[in-house]
Structure 1
Amino acid sequence: MSKTMINETVPANDGFKQKPDIVQTEFVDSTDPSFDSDLEKKKSFSQKLSLIFASIALGSDGYQANIIGSVEACLQKIYGASVLANGLSTRVSNAMLIGDIVGQVGFGVLIDRLGRKFGIISCTMFVCLGIILATASSGVTPTGLIWMLIIARGLTGVGVGGEYPCSSVTAGEAAEESGRSRGKWLILSGNFIIDVGFVVATIIPVILLAICGEGGLEVVWRLSLGLGLLLPLNVLYFRLKMLNSEMYTKEALTRKVPYALIFKKYWPKLLVTGGIWFLYDFVSYSFGIFSDTILSVAVPGNSLMQTFQWNIVLNVFYPFGAAAGAFFIDRLGPKKLMASGFFIQAVIGIIVGALAPQIISNAFPAFVILYGFFLFFGEFGPGDCTILVSAEMYPTAIRGTMYGLSAALGKAGAAIGTQVFKPILAALTETTGDSLRAQGYLFIIGSCIGLLGCALTLLFIPNASKSSKELDDEFRQLLQDNGYDVNQLGFGHHIENTMETAESKQQQLQN
């Protein structure tokens, strides 16, 4: 009987010296015809779970990112605009973005060193804890409550940020291993579902406001945050059942990682993927998070319910843009799709900017539709492709790290964009004496950034992406050329050594 050991291990790190890991060992008869079939079924099931629950987790992240606009609107109505003065409004918006950056970099490194499964479970726990604390925010004064909310949102952001490398990398590897179109499925399980979360985050406050009325805004904002806990709690159990991807198991670089060599080789790619993501998030998050602010100025009477309702209409454009991009990705490729999205978004932004005072005053629905298409093409092109390109341009062993760094640069753009958005709007309003014209100028600024993104895409994004196997082979060769033992990659050698040790101990006991 041929013995094969089935186990799940977590590698110990001590240079190239392998410490024994704690494993659960089971010997099975690998000559049994049912063995391969059972193993393939388990792998296939795990791949499907990876895609499904990566999608659900990222949808939850989209919800958390967008719900804060409605929460801020409620807090201003309850406590007055002064409670969010002196930069507190921006800090509430930015807290999660700063946490995102920490989570993206930290978990990007961790999932390459400790495994995809370790990362996604840890992220889920951070998200759950942050949501609970944010929902329970309190203080002796309204300002104290706001500061607790800021801290809790930062903690949520660490988990949400970690989901980007953990879920996107896991989904991309699962899609490629299962033979699906990596581009289309990564978009549908990533950017599209994030955008669905954006839409849900605009619908929930409307439902709660209709139930509670403006006299129950305390309940509205707390439940709006708290209901976001349902999805991460539901995926946690299933994530405990998932396996690391086969690609990661074969290519993992868990000991003595040569970071100097890695960054020497890949820093130009990082500047491209991270730089384009920076430009996209600068525009996308600024115009997304502050859509309530823009609409509240434009909506006659400043009705909170009307603002929320128009915001639903606006946010519906997000997932449709992402879905359209998924449909065209295999036809156009990431480079053409990203460049065209940036360019069309810029053209629409210039049109809105030039005509803003007239269309907002005389044809407000037309303004919302144009604003919606401005967001639509942001998702259609760069929104879809930043995630895809950042996952496709790096080998498996360092994919989490480089994806996390690219995403962190993107969130830095989002944080800077949201930090300067309101001051720029205030300065333009003061200069022009016309708040509507000032909003038009904001769209023109966004368009200029989009044109820069289009140019960078055409110059630096490759026409065709390489397969993971080609990237992994190149990385192995890079390590070998620089004196690294490529036999240390993956967990295969460790499993074989553990089997030999286990069999030796069994023989000693028998003797």
Structure 2
Amino acid sequence: MARNQQLRVLQALDVARTQLYHFMAIVIAGMGFFTDAYDLFTISLVADLIVHRYYPDGRTGNYISVLINAVSLSGTIPGQLLFGWLGDKMGRKRIYGVTLLLMVFCSLASGFTFGKSTYKSVVVTLCFFRFWLGVSIGGDYPLSATIMSEYANKRTRGAFMAAVFAMQGFGNVAAGLVGMITSKAFDNSSPDNIDYVWRIVLMFGAVPALLTYYWRTKMPETARYTALIAKDAKMAASDMSAVLNMHIPPEEEDGINLTSEDQYGLFSSDFLHRHGLHLLGTTVCWFVLDVTFYSLNMFMKDIFTTVGLLDGHHDQVCKVNACQMARPPVTPGYRKSVNLFKRTSDITGLHTAIAAGCTLPGYFFAVAFIDRIGRIKIQLLGFTMMTAFQLCLAIPYDKWLECNNNKYGFAVLYGFIFFFANFGPNTTTFIVPAELFPARLRSTCHGISGAVGKIGAVLGVCAFSFLSCNFRVLLFLLVGCNLVGIVFTLLLPETKGKSLEEITGETEEGQTLDDEATVVNADDGIHVVPV
């Protein structure tokens, strides 16, 4: 079946030199992920303070802690589906700023939640705004991924997208630093100041999002949306000529007409035949990855309390019963001598150490090697190594709880799980859905994949709560998730070094792209570089 000839403007994008604008796009899109990670992970760092302030009875506080952690993750699900669909229907740029404004408003509103000082309406309104914050965070995923994939050249597309996603690592580190500095500032103050600490930490998430709003509004629409969906080749050529600092002659009007066979929809048999297995692979892999990533990340403090890295319950001795692990540490079960602000600074300090020492380097490795090794190999490597390190924690689990220096070895192995999650499926599950699907369905399919992933995140948080009496069983369940991820990764094709239209079959079969033979096309004025 004949396909379109690739448009000249899209060829120019695929083979363009790496320029300053590419790095600006990484920062502009990446600051959304910086804020996303900050907002999602700070709540787990200050949840103890909130629970202690408003739900001091231990049993109720346990459920409230889970609710506070899960509510924003739940909001990301409709956010990814809605904004992913709108990105294909209305354009990537048109609604790109909307997600950022909603993020700013809800971050600030989370700190201004109202109610009597000891009344539960504070937590109710906090959960309300956290849900809508999750909606904005969810919307940022498909839009940022799609925009970056459609701006990048094919030679370094993976590295550019991984760099955008790596900003999540910096947001994770920032969450720990802000939490640690704020709690340290109130270290010797009255417990009545607990409200100030968690409110300041949550509200700070509005700052990076607000700083990049102006630049998001100035980004032009992607050429692939303008040419292939809006079908305005002249506008696409004009926009990209300014972006790439070159002259790109507009295409003939009939050069952008799609054949009727290529106009299949998401629920059509054609989509099922061409991309059904791809969508199944991206959704399942993202689902099982998020079960592990969020359960281990958001309850890190409880796990480290169990092995003795953090101060815990009054009856905690050398060997801690696993049933104590997931109870919120700020309950009447804590020693009266425990300084809540100091404990929070200890929690945030340990979080920062894991994020800076293991999480962030994993992102750096992904940026460096994803266009060399390939997406699929890195994803398989990540799932495999996560399995190995989780087994190293699960099989000798009782040994880790003994009263010796095993707690430091536990922390190191725990950190390696996050290293290979990021140098692995946490990065690739974000990248691959933005490459496999046609332009008119790209944002929608990425949103579907991400939404299913966040369902896994919510289930992971809930599973941690229900299996808190047997963390060893949870680890073996996470191993099973990794094995499922390995199997479904095999359904996905490698996308390294190919143009988006070549991957999706939107170019004519057998078409030879210009970059293989041309350094400077004097007739068209398109400057390209050899690959």
Q: TM-score, normalised by structure 1?
A: 0.77
Partner SS for 2:211 = helix
- Number of the residue aligned with 2:140: 163
Q: 1:355 aligns with which of 396, 412, 430?
A: 396
Cα gap change, 1:202/1:300 in structure 2, threshold over 3 Å: closer, same or farther? closer
- Number of the residue aligned with 2:76: 100
Q: One-letter code of the match for 2:370?
A: I
* Cα distance in 2 between the residues matched to 1:381 and 1:442: 21
- 1:407-466 CA deviation, whole Å, 9 max, x = no partner? 1110111111112211111xxx2xxxxxxxx33333232122112212221x31224454
* Cα distance in 1 between the residues matched to 2:289 and 2:105: 29
- Number of the residue aligned with 2:197: 220
* Cα distance in 1 between the residues matched to 2:508 and 2:103: 35
1:384 aligns with 2:433: no
1:319 aligns with 2:294: no
- Number of the residue aligned with 2:220: 243
CA apart distance, 1:253: 5.9
* Cα distance in 2 between the residues matched to 1:110 and 1:54: 17
Is contact 2:142–2:447 with CA below 8 Å preserved after alignment? yes
CA apart distance, 1:219: 1.2
Is contact 2:435–2:495 with CA below 8 Å preserved after alignment? no
Q: 1:183 aligns with which of 158, 161, 172?
A: 158
1:264 aligns with 2:272: yes
Q: 1:461 aligns with which of 492, 495, 504?
A: 492
Is contact 1:314–1:372 with CA below 8 Å preserved after alignment? yes
CA apart distance, 1:84: 5.0
CA apart distance, 1:91: 1.9
Overall identity of the aligned pairs, in %: 26
CA apart distance, 1:45: 6.7
Q: One-letter code of the match for 1:99?
A: G
Say which structure is richer in helix: 1
Q: 2:50 aligns with which of 75, 90, 110?
A: 75
Is contact 2:304–2:310 with CA below 8 Å preserved after alignment? no
The number of aligned residues is 421
Q: Any gaps of 5 or more consecutive residues in structure 2?
A: 1-15, 232-257, 313-342, 510-531
CA apart distance, 1:475: 8.1
Matches within 5 A, 1:300-339: 301-302=311-312, 303-316=343-356, 317-339=358-380
Is contact 2:51–2:61 with CA below 8 Å preserved after alignment? no
Is contact 1:356–1:367 with CA below 8 Å preserved after alignment? no
- Number of the residue aligned with 2:284: 275
Q: One-letter code of the match for 2:365?
A: A
CA apart distance, 1:212: 1.1
Larger mean CA deviation between 237-246 and 349-358 belongs to 349-358
CA apart distance, 1:283: 0.6
Q: Any gaps of 5 or more consecutive residues in structure 1?
A: 1-40, 430-437, 478-511
Q: One-letter code of the match for 1:165?
A: P
1:205 aligns with 2:179: yes
CA apart distance, 1:218: 1.5
Q: One-letter code of the match for 1:264?
A: L
- 1:334-388 CA deviation, whole Å, 9 max, x = no partner? 1111011101110110111123332343221211111100111111110111011
* Cα distance in 1 between the residues matched to 2:202 and 2:366: 30
Q: One-letter code of the match for 1:301?
A: D
Q: TM-score, normalised by structure 2?
A: 0.74
Is contact 1:339–1:455 with CA below 8 Å preserved after alignment? no
Is contact 1:341–1:382 with CA below 8 Å preserved after alignment? yes
Larger mean CA deviation between 330-339 and 466-475 belongs to 466-475
* Cα distance in 2 between the residues matched to 1:310 and 1:201: 12
Q: Which has the bigger relative contact order, CA under 8 A and spacing at least 6?
A: 2
- Number of the residue aligned with 1:496: none
- Number of the residue aligned with 2:333: none
Cα gap change, 1:467/1:330 in structure 2, threshold over 3 Å: closer, same or farther? same
Q: 1:406 aligns with which of 414, 431, 449?
A: 449
1:291 aligns with 2:284: no
Partner SS for 1:260 = coil
